[in-house]
Amino acid sequence: MNERYKDLLTAFTLPNGVELKNRIVMAPMTHYSSNPDGTVTDAEVKYYSRRSSGVSMVITACTHVTQDGQGFHGQFASYSDDFIPSLKRVANAIKEQGAKAVLQIYHGGKMSPPELVPNGEIVSASDVPAVNDGVEAKKPKPLTEAEAEEIIEAYGEATRRAIEAGYDGVEIHGANGYLIQQFFSGHSNRREDRFGGSLEKRMAFPLAVVDKVKSVVEKHGDASFIVGYRFSPEEPEEKGITMADTLALVDVLADKGLEYLHVSLGDFFSTARRGVEDLSKTRIEYLLEKIKNRVPLIGVGSIYTAEDAHKAFETGIPLLALGRELIIDPDWVQKVADGKEDEIVTEIDKEKQEELVVPDPLWSKIVNIPGWFPGV
């Protein structure tokens, strides 16, 4: 192994004592490849297995905790005990290759396509519609307090199912514009009850989900079960989340006894948009300063080469997630370990779907969306 990159592959111990064999994690990525009934397909299981031998931990694509929370076609579900055997297939595929298996749990909220939810009734914190490519989507129905409580309970039940299915942990998906973020955002949350209004009240739903998940782990799991939380640091809308809002949330989350926080970024080195004094500083720098080593932070965003990863680790980030790069080259970690980092592939090879073990629905999107993946 090249000495320059050895730190990438050193072991890391999470706050609960669980040891990760290295610092590289597979990021959660939607793959559109589950059965219409919400169970996993053979192609999905093989996709995970192919990418689980090098990384220390695999965070799955998001699974919806209620029937009305599905945000994509071809998504696997966690809203009923009927899905435990399906969930177990993915957990086993990951763990058999030596990585920790973490199930990402979420609710799509207003991002859910109406045709995927019962009676087409999408829900959110308030009736502010999503905007897709400049077009307003259907107005969501504002959740009552009781309905919001039911969804919080559903996160707990999905966590219990993850435990029963043999996962090593869950990641609460509070990022990418889905329901938890909709409650935290001043743009999408116009409520005047205990779940909305001030910044602190907009934190109430996300923090209630964290508390519920942790209480379920206490009851049904053990201290080795990993609970992480993913967040998006900013929103572009006028009343949307600012970097200052996120730093306030992260400050609270850092003391919640989580095993990690996971920022969702398209570019690891991106700078803050607003809400902080120095807009030349990266979001990662701000987050690490605020967290002050109270909880590990996972960084992510357009890391392709070993040198990219090395530069990212120079910021002091303890863990790094790779997403698209592990689809492009599932052997990334092994190549670094063997001193063959020069052989890492950084652009998708359109002739190698079979070799890369990528399911048809995901492959179709990769090769037909210009700019999403390098090489397309």
Contact present, 182 and 176 (Cβ < 8 Å)? no
DSSP SS3 for 201: helix
Catalytic residue among 178, 229, 260, 286: 178
CA distance 270 to 149: 35
The terminus-to-terminus CA distance of the chain in angstroms comes to 31
What 281-284 contacts at long range (C-beta under 8 Å, 24+ apart), as own/partner pairs, is: 282/315, 283/233, 283/234, 283/243, 284/312, 284/315, 284/317
CA 85 to chain centre: 22
Residue showing tokens 């071809």: 74
Burial class (CB in 10 A: 0-12, 13-18, 19+), 330: buried
Q: Is 178 a catalytic residue?
A: yes
CB atoms within 10 A of CB 112: 28
Q: What residues does 103 pair with on adjacent strands?
A: 170
Catalytic residues: 178
